Chains A and B, each alone.
Chain A
């Protein structure tokens, strides 16, 4: 069974940092592009970042302005999102999702990041 499990969310103060992880299982992780998508409370879905299977290509939403860094470790079947200079508007559930020909399938259960003083 294909499974994605996020971790690392929590409460952080404005200006702080957090590192999210996503553990993948049930498929050949190194063959797939991976993504982070977030959802603010009561809001819609927002694409955050994508990374190609071998980390050659990396893309970010313009709104992040260089504060987030996506990475992966294919030996550990893991995806990461380093988030720095966090703001209140970064408060959201963060999902990791596998790319499948341009869409996202499946998604993990998400991890909640709350930025508040």
Chain B
């Protein structure tokens, strides 16, 4: 089973600033990684697939990068609606599909 590790657990950033979230895989997953955003009381929403491709309707301030075992989600200029929990998930080796434990992005 591939273990996904996200860091940091909590990130405090001011609106308008840049946020950088990390996700590490215990073995290579190629580019087979996605990022989801989850707000309180809501289902997760797909942000990025294929490590770097934005899903339909996702603003350009969200970008993904990386391959192999190291991945990054960058939000270039934080808006109030971006404060949420973010999860990465690998789909290279399954079952099982595995998720990171999440990074909570909070307002500083």
A44-B102, A110-B43 given; A103·B95 CB < 8 A = no
A62 to B101, CA, bound (A): 18
Interface of A is mostly: strand
Smallest Cβ distance from A32 to chain B, in angstroms? 15
Q: A46 near B: Cβ within 8 Å?
A: yes
A47 to B43, CA, bound (A): 14
Q: A15 near B: Cβ within 8 Å?
A: no
A9 to B45, CA, bound (A): 22
A contact residues around B52 at 8 Å (CB) = none
Count A-side interface residues using an 8 Å CB cutoff: 22
Smallest Cβ distance from A8 to chain B, in angstroms? 16
A103-B89, A103-B91, A105-B55 given; A47·B99 CB < 8 A = yes
B contact residues around A106 at 8 Å (CB) = 43, 45-46
Q: A68 near B: Cβ within 8 Å?
A: no
Whether B46 and A104, one on each chain, are in contact in the complex, defined by CB atoms closer than 8 angstroms, is yes
A45-B44, A104-B46 given; A61·B95 CB < 8 A = yes
A47-B99, A61-B95 given; A108·B32 CB < 8 A = no
Whether B44 and A107, one on each chain, are in contact in the complex, defined by CB atoms closer than 8 angstroms, is yes
Q: B64 near A: Cβ within 8 Å?
A: no
Smallest Cβ distance from B41 to chain A, in angstroms? 9
A45 to B32, CA, bound (A): 18
Closest to B87 in A: A45
Q: B49 near A: Cβ within 8 Å?
A: yes
Whether A107 and B55, one on each chain, are in contact in the complex, defined by CB atoms closer than 8 angstroms, is no
Q: B65 near A: Cβ within 8 Å?
A: no
